[in-house]
Structure 1
Amino acid sequence: MAEAHQAVAFQFTVTPDGIDLHLCHEALRQVYLSGLHSWKKRFIRFKNGVMTGVYPGSPSGLIVVVAGYMSYAKYAKIDPSLGLFTKLATHMPVSKYITEDGQRIAGGVLVGTGLWVTIIFIMRSVLKSLLSWHGWMYNRHGNVSIGTKIWLVLVKLFSGRKPMLYSFQSSLPRLPVPAVKDTTKRYLESVHPLMDDAQYKRMEGLAKDFEKNLGPKLQWYLKLKSWWTSNYVSDWWEEYIYLRGRGPIMVNSNYYAMDFLYVFPTHLQAARAGNAIHSAMMYRRKLDRAQLKPIYLLENRLMALNTIPMCSSQYERMFNTSRVPGVETDAIQHVNESKHIVVYHKGRFFKVWMFYDGRLLYPREIEQQMERILADKSEPQPGEEHLAALTAGDRIPWAKARSTFFSRGKNKQSLDSVEKAAFFVTLDDTEQRYDPDNPVQSLDRYAKSLLHGKCYDRWFDKSFNLIVFKNGTMGLNAEHTWADAPIVGHLWEQVLAFDPVIMGYTEDGHCKGKIHPSLPGPQRLQWDIPEECQSVISSSLEVANALADDVDSHIIPFSEFGKGLIKKCKTSPDAFIQIVLQLAHFRDKGKFCLTYEASMTRLFREGRTETVRSCTIEACAFVRAMEEEKQTREERLRLLRLAAEKHQDLYRQAMTGKGIDRHLFCLYVVSRYLGVDSPFLKEVLSEPWRLSTSQTPLQQLDLFNLKKNPEYVTSGGGFGPVADDGYGVSYIILGEDLINFHISSKHSSPETDSHRFGSHIKQAMLDVLDLFQIDRKAKK
């Protein structure tokens, strides 16, 4: 093969006259270009590190400050060094080495630099203090106080000019540790509607005892940790919630993102993969060069767009990252540089280099590589086809198999290629798509395929899997440990936006551009999997198949109305939907349950998520009023507004570090380290979340003009059920008139049925809107 020949840098033969070297100039050229690319990347990272490290200052600011200080010293006729060299001369003969003019210049530069560093420190400290204030959250729509306006101006003033992605990291405040008394009070309030009087009184006694005795001791250690670390929650959350889990991460942890709902840019699988892979690699390049803009909180009501920064630390491990199994705990492996991806197709693994001639491959060239893989008729090696099932089953068998069978030889090399790839790609041999003639079944199949596939055709340990189906539809499956869904969503939005609009396709569906006449082909990964390992793979696949078959997925594109009408009701769309979910759940099961809504804490450094406990006393009162036939519309509306306001208040608390669950979780971790038992904490952390919910935010609104192109809407994404007898609900609010719901549960539970629950959600949405007596048809 031509590519095999080009992979050899030189050949030699031994002759009577000595050794005759035959250099391959093309191979040496590629080595040179590769090295040049690596050094260029290192320089860019170094430069960006300097720019970020001195922000909100800049190197040009240093020149201005030093030059200004020197000019002032000359004008005021003062010693620029402020006597620095005079004091230094008493201890060493400075004048022997530096002239008097040189001393003035050197002293001026040193003092000017110190002044510049001081200014940066002051600006950074002031900005951190400003970002620690969250009173702006309590301003109502259209009624921004003078204090908030002044605060916004000051934040803008001290935020500097042209910030990069990580510029604000050192200016973000640390996540505060709430008082134990406040947390237990909020906890008791959250569980009150879920308990009878006897149960509540017992829990109240446990909480009071904890608050008085063990709580202060645990809190002292937690306070110490908060002073010492950037974030007192995040490392423990990653370790104990994700990495220590010994069950399958497929379904239980990984989540998925879908393609456009109504648009199908091309029917060619290889072409769609070409554009999508190129878009993802371009996004990685922007991350490496810090060319992405900082992530700001979307806060339209304050006219504060691009003002309130959020933490960007989770973006660092988006690419070149894999979860590595361990017997007791897993680990996250991240490499700074990876020039290849790994592609799975019909049981074979292929390593595909993403760079040639010192540049990233163009979309048509990537399509060319995918076409070669699709045309390859070779059979899988023994054990290769189902190998990825190891990542879908329990973690301990995978960890033991990895250390036993993949620690040396070709298996280690091939596994390294997978784990150190930029990301994983599956060229799926099935067809998935939204079918208008069969909307329910087609979307349900699509969701299940993205969530778990065949259980052996996704590498679930990778940071994310790009899945391209046979008919050109695509999707994403992401591992949860390294980051939360909005981070992956940011990448996915750019991939979707760039694909059909910016890059586009030719009339016959291919990527634009030309094929490369001498591009080396994909490299088939080699495995030597013994029968003992194949037995472990089969066991993992059996576990994964049982889990996948039990998942009951249902997707609802709810188009009766959207946030446009909800805003006319002067209600937060998120609060509206959360209350609807409480009503739907009560109608579905006849009872209330502990409800989890994910909120973010990225207003703080290294912040991740916090829980909003949506099943409140106010929400329960509204639901009961809706189920009482004699209750008046006015009373229901009053209770709805109280429930919505309560939910908004809980959301604010969660975002500003006053949540319940992360604090209690960390207190529990401290108690385990100290070897003490807390009946209160043990009971709190054992309570099941039978309704787990999350909103998928549309973050880059400028990429999608849904008014001009309403067809460019994504289906959003979803996740598996958290509790065996509960529901997982993800929803995305798209434009003014569409809300997509993703519902999951387990067939094995007699209490749940995703389609039944979906029907209750649709009816509850209509019933709650009818309270406002808004004519939907007139609106449309």
Structure 2
Amino acid sequence: MAEAHQAVAFQFTVTPEGIDLQLSHQALSEIYLSGVRSWKKRVIRLKNNVITGVYPASPSSWLFVVIAILATMYTRSDPSMGLIAKIQEHLPVSQSMSSQCQAVLSAVLFSTMLWLLLIFTMRLCLKQLLSYHRWMFEQHGKMSNTTKVWVVSSGAHLSGRKPLLYSYQGSLPNLPVPVVKDTVKRYLESVRPLMDDTQYERTTKLAEEFESSLGNRLQWYLKLKSLWAANYVSDWWEEYVYLRGRSPIMVNSNYYGMDFLFVTPTPIQSARAGNSIHSFFLYRRKLNKEEIKPSRIPGTVIPLCAAQCERIFHTTRIPGEETDTVQHWQDSDYIVVYHKGRYFRLRVYQAGRLLSPREIEFQIQRILDDPAAPSKGEAHLGALTAGDRIPWAKARTKFFSTGLNKRSLDCIEKAAFFVTLDDDEQGMMGDDPAASLDNYAKNLLHGKCYDRWFDKSFSVVFYKNGKCGINAEHSWADAPVLAHVWEYALATDSFQLGYNTEGHCKGEVDSSLPKPQKLNWEITPEEQISQSLDVAQKLADDIDFHVFSFQEFGKGKVKKCRVSPDAFIQMCLQLAYFREQNNFCLTYEASMTRLFREGRTETVRSCSNESSAFVRAFEGGEAPDVCRRLLRAASEKHQLLYRMAMTGGGIDRHLFCLYVVSKYLGVESPFLKEVLSEPWRLSTSQTGVQQVELFDLVNHPEYISCGGGFGPVADDGYGVSYSLIGDNMINFHISCKHSCPQTDAHKFGSQIKKALHDIINLLSGAQPEPKKPEAGRPEVKKDQ
């Protein structure tokens, strides 16, 4: 009961002498300080809204305009051309106000309107500048005059006053709706290498029928939406791709990020948690004050949309029977920690201040040392979030909507984020570091299937040996947004906070801190928990993972060959897949559309006519000069496709939205149905380091993360995530399913390594290694 008493501000009993009221001064003090903190945040938010609302001007510029107008009035000139006098005539003021005061008030009103007009004009100009994307398609060293003017203008507008995180949001352009004819044409081109002549002729006929009939009708609705909504794709993408999915989000949707590859800053689990948790809250403080620099396209001043940053913290996916929802709360001063089947509420603020890393370590160690046993059914409770969504939604409504269970569930869902204290040791270690790295990735993706809260925006996992990692829910934002937080936490942990000689966090401890509060439950749906755990465990057991760090060369050598590193890796993946499967497949590469307001992602269809022509020529033994020419053509085409996707000219989001409209209208389109049912057997994504300035890879090259990964999109396909670290390292994360006999993560990894060597040798003019006959490999069929 002592824990329950800590949760109330006062107690009272009825006595013969009257009501005996006992106030808890500590609790009341905490309530007062919490209110003060909340009002401070409101004031900061209001101030930032004003600053971002008038950007690229500043609030102080209003005073400058007012003084300038008043100064001209005293020189007996009228810059308003009679408007100030008109305003003065219609002022609803008292007759007791002197005419001079009325004139000053009228001048101030005119100045304010002029200031607002100038701001509107500046923001309109900035929006037009950010709508210009032709610069991305021009060859290096061959800049057009229009682009030269744009470079000067954009530099003048975007390199001035220091912006806040959301300063550019109102100036970002809306995502344009492509022309149906163009989308259909690009789609047919993308599927040509995947079909024989008969299949392609049939698909072409379906596409032409759609374009000439239903397509224009559906397009009209999309154009109407684009005029009304900030982004015609994002809300439907979040709803239908993520939230309406009824299968487990563990593996199928959630993704993970890894710790440093070669370094463990401290072997003490609680200490690592102390520094890292403190770092996350330092980031949240900067986020609330909008002090984080707006993300930009690397090497430019062009800003990216920051809308997804709003839901990083205290956000949870809430299950529903038909569709889930994303719930975001404004603030919370605690996290929820899982350890050995128990859930604890850990407050990270005391007397209005953020706990120091050493104090958080002290509190985490208290949880690790707590001997309390889990409540009945509590140990595997998290499996509900790992299984199918409908059973979880029904259980939540039936068993967690009232009483003790509701209060404890609310505590988890409203927490800033979720923390797991894992009893396992992970990382690249032991006699077989390669296998341990695979196990590390697999553990981060699904854990034990019940020791994560997969619905939280993100969960941080701290292992027994000091390693850590992160698991993230996907619906609320895309990986680069969370990667930004993760990079900050890793860098702050190691380079700013640090540890003492014993491996503990630095600083002192306030021993009067109240103990972390164990959440209590009255679990009755144990059968449902067991069923969800069975579903999740089967899915987890089926996942095959292979992670490796390729260090024989990196993007530095690729750039010297005058080829885009990303295009280079995509060509290697195409070659590796063809060698393993003896055919090509529909390939997904994620590209962002954050050049536009509320933009998320678009698909780059990496398997193109040009890439397939290169692979066939290379495997068919064509001359090196021919292969090099075809490789460069394929790389340039890939870059074009990537730029088209970034600038709103992609294929798949447009077709997806047309399909959604057709469903709303209740009309069937054989063409759209076929397009949306095609499997992505090769799903790829690049994870780049965004905050290079936080890591000194020259003096501390060992402080690098291995990146992150995700599960396979198709049951018979691969999920491949890769990151280019510095100039000499490429990390790969490969996933597939054991249940598919045609896929093997380790074999595909070997094919990728071979393809990397073969293509770099081709580009550098080195002689490729003689091909060795592969047992059981079928003959290459050139008509596929």
TM-score (norm 1): 0.96
- Distance (Å, rounded) in 1 between the aligned partners of 2:145 and 2:695: 33
2:101 aligns with 102
1:732 is aligned to 2:723: yes
Partner of 1:771, secondary structure, is helix
1:480 is aligned to 2:474: yes
Which amino acid is 1:568 matched to? Answer: K
Gaps of 5+ in 1: none
Q: Which of residues 533, 551, 554 in structure 2 aligns to 1:559?
A: 551
- Distance (Å, rounded) in 2 between the aligned partners of 1:16 and 1:385: 46
**CA RMSD of the aligned region, Å?**
1.8
Give the superposition deviation at 1:95: 5.3
2:780 aligns with none
Partner of 1:440, secondary structure, is helix
Paired residues of 1:80 and 1:107 also in contact (CA < 8 A) = no
Q: How does 1:5-16 map to 2 (within 5 A)?
A: 8-11=8-11
| Residues 725-773 of structure 1 deviation map (CA, whole Å, 9 limit, x = unaligned) | 0000000000000000000000000110000000000000000001123
| Residues 217-274 of structure 1 deviation map (CA, whole Å, 9 limit, x = unaligned) | 0000000000100000000000000000000000000000000000010001001011
- Distance (Å, rounded) in 1 between the aligned partners of 2:88 and 2:345: 62
Q: How does 1:421-570 map to 2 (within 5 A)?
A: 421-435=415-429, 437-530=431-524, 533-570=525-562
Paired residues of 1:690 and 1:727 also in contact (CA < 8 A) = yes
Paired residues of 1:80 and 1:105 also in contact (CA < 8 A) = no
2:408 aligns with 414
Q: Which of residues 345, 352, 360 in structure 1 aligns to 2:346?
A: 352
Paired residues of 2:88 and 2:103 also in contact (CA < 8 A) = no
Closer/same/farther in 2, CA of residues 481 and 97 from structure 1, 3 Å limit: farther
1:379 aligns with 373
Which amino acid is 1:424 matched to? Answer: F
Paired residues of 1:392 and 1:456 also in contact (CA < 8 A) = yes
2:248 aligns with 248
Give the superposition deviation at 1:85: 5.8
- Distance (Å, rounded) in 2 between the aligned partners of 1:94 and 1:650: 63
- Distance (Å, rounded) in 2 between the aligned partners of 1:624 and 1:156: 45
2:586 aligns with 594
- Distance (Å, rounded) in 2 between the aligned partners of 1:238 and 1:290: 25
Partner of 2:709, secondary structure, is strand
Paired residues of 1:164 and 1:294 also in contact (CA < 8 A) = yes
| Residues 71-101 of structure 1 deviation map (CA, whole Å, 9 limit, x = unaligned) | 12222433879455656647x8745153211
- Distance (Å, rounded) in 1 between the aligned partners of 2:341 and 2:255: 23
Q: How does 1:691-702 map to 2 (within 5 A)?
A: 691-702=682-693
- Distance (Å, rounded) in 2 between the aligned partners of 1:397 and 1:2: 35
Paired residues of 2:72 and 2:79 also in contact (CA < 8 A) = no
Partner of 1:615, secondary structure, is coil
1:604 aligns with 596
| Residues 294-315 of structure 1 deviation map (CA, whole Å, 9 limit, x = unaligned) | 111103xxxx2xx100100000
1:621 is aligned to 2:633: no
TM-score (norm 2): 0.95
Closer/same/farther in 2, CA of residues 87 and 716 from structure 1, 3 Å limit: closer
Gaps of 5+ in 2: 768-784
Q: Which of residues 661, 664, 667 in structure 2 aligns to 1:673?
A: 664
Give the superposition deviation at 1:633: 0.8
Shifted more, 72-81 versus 167-176: the winner is 72-81
Shifted more, 476-485 versus 49-58: the winner is 49-58
Paired residues of 2:84 and 2:103 also in contact (CA < 8 A) = no
Give the superposition deviation at 1:18: 4.9
1:73 is aligned to 2:91: no
- Distance (Å, rounded) in 1 between the aligned partners of 2:602 and 2:201: 27
- Distance (Å, rounded) in 2 between the aligned partners of 1:93 and 1:205: 70
Paired residues of 1:272 and 1:468 also in contact (CA < 8 A) = yes
- Distance (Å, rounded) in 1 between the aligned partners of 2:658 and 2:600: 18
Partner of 2:703, secondary structure, is coil
Closer/same/farther in 2, CA of residues 87 and 380 from structure 1, 3 Å limit: closer
Paired residues of 1:180 and 1:215 also in contact (CA < 8 A) = yes
Q: How does 1:275-314 map to 2 (within 5 A)?
A: 275-299=275-299, 304=300, 307-314=301-308
Shifted more, 2-11 versus 540-549: the winner is 2-11
1:224 is aligned to 2:224: yes
Partner of 1:163, secondary structure, is coil
- Distance (Å, rounded) in 2 between the aligned partners of 1:716 and 1:662: 26
Which amino acid is 1:105 matched to? Answer: V
Which amino acid is 1:488 matched to? Answer: L
1:27 is aligned to 2:27: yes
1:396 is aligned to 2:387: no
Give the superposition deviation at 1:153: 2.2
2:563 aligns with 571
Give the superposition deviation at 1:124: 0.6
2:64 aligns with 64
Give the superposition deviation at 1:52: 1.0
| Residues 593-646 of structure 1 deviation map (CA, whole Å, 9 limit, x = unaligned) | 0000000000000000000000001100111111113x1111110110000000
- Distance (Å, rounded) in 2 between the aligned partners of 1:684 and 1:185: 13
| Residues 548-580 of structure 1 deviation map (CA, whole Å, 9 limit, x = unaligned) | 000000001001100010001100000000000
Partner of 2:264, secondary structure, is coil
Give the % identical residues. Answer: 62
- Distance (Å, rounded) in 2 between the aligned partners of 1:628 and 1:212: 40
Q: How does 1:324-343 map to 2 (within 5 A)?
A: 324-343=318-337
- Distance (Å, rounded) in 2 between the aligned partners of 1:171 and 1:640: 39
Paired residues of 1:418 and 1:424 also in contact (CA < 8 A) = yes
